[in-house]
Structure 1
């Protein structure tokens, strides 16, 4: 895991993307983190982006319900791609689907690292993003190419 790598946001809805970007920009600035935010509006572009990236991303935050390739299919493809899977990029679902137990079971069956409901309140959303990013900044992850500690 690359602690200073990109934070990849996969979200097809323009307003949700912009809102999340604003929140993460604030969280990064507040904590003095230098990660770049990469917004991807079409999940079919993610695999080629990840394969072409010169450095491993820090974190992937993905919506589930997207046209074309949904978040589950995307996660499955990343999980099955040995080169991408070996990078140990934390994969988080951020969804409006709420407490749907079947969706949660399906998500965790794909070895995701988190499943969260999009908060409606700005302060709650900011706190959630801060908690997620801070957690992964201090987590110890060993991957095929080395250790992030």
Structure 2
């Protein structure tokens, strides 16, 4: 993780992408925000970039490769696992079985995607602030 690295958002809903982008801009978060519509595209980017992303925000329900499958692929990839990119689910999926499965994949958080702009802004502020202050083995890369 690099505090200056990009924030990776895997989100297939264009309205949610717009809301997330608007929140990041309103919070004056300086990190580049990169959107991917599915886990396959995000995985190809992560496997080929030399960037050290700051954070991954991932939805659960997506076409091609869902969030749980995406997380599993990261965990099985030694190159990506060593990057230790903080991985947080941000999803409307709040089924207890999905949450349990998510935490079984060594994620760093699971947050419900809020319906109101202000509530979503509060969630993203908490996530960003936490990881901004957190010490990390790759923070100086």
Gap runs ≥5 in structure 1: none
Q: For 2:89 and 2:79, how far apart are their aligned partners in 1?
A: 21
Measured in 1, the distance between the counterparts of 2:82 and 2:55 equals 14
SS of equivalent to 2:88: strand
Counterpart pick for 2:78 among 76, 82, 95: 82
Q: Structure 2 CA distance, aligned partners of 1:13 and 1:123?
A: 19
**1:129-144 equivalence runs, <5 A:** 129-143=124-138
Structure 2 counterpart of 1:109, from 94, 98, 104? 104
Deviations 1:88-111 (A, max 9, x none): 10001011112x211111000000
Distance 1:75 1:86 in 2: 14
In the alignment, the residues of structure 2 paired with residue 97 and residue 48 of structure 1 have an alpha-carbon distance, to the nearest angstrom, of 25
Structure 2, unaligned runs of 5 or more: none
For 2:25 and 2:6, how far apart are their aligned partners in 1? 12
Point out 4+ residue stretches in structure 1 off by more than 3 angstroms: none
Q: d(CA) in 2 for partners of 1:127 and 1:107?
A: 22
1:67 shift after superposition = 1.1
Quote the residue 1:20 is aligned against: 20
2:36 is aligned with 1:40 = yes
CA shift for structure 1 position 119: 0.7
Is 1:73 aligned with 2:63?
A: no
What value does the CA root-mean-square deviation take over the aligned residues? Answer: 1.2
CA apart distance, 1:76: 0.2
Structure-1 residue corresponding to 2:47: 51
- What is the rounded CA distance, in whole Å, between the counterparts of 2:90 and 2:30 in structure 1? 22
Q: How far apart in 2 are the matches of 1:84 and 1:42?
A: 17
SS in 2 for 1:73: helix
The 8 Å contact of residues 19 and 117 in structure 2, kept in 1 or not, is answered as: no
Give the one of 96, 116, 120 matched to 1:121. 116
Question: Which residue of the partner structure matches residue 64 of structure 1?
Answer: 60
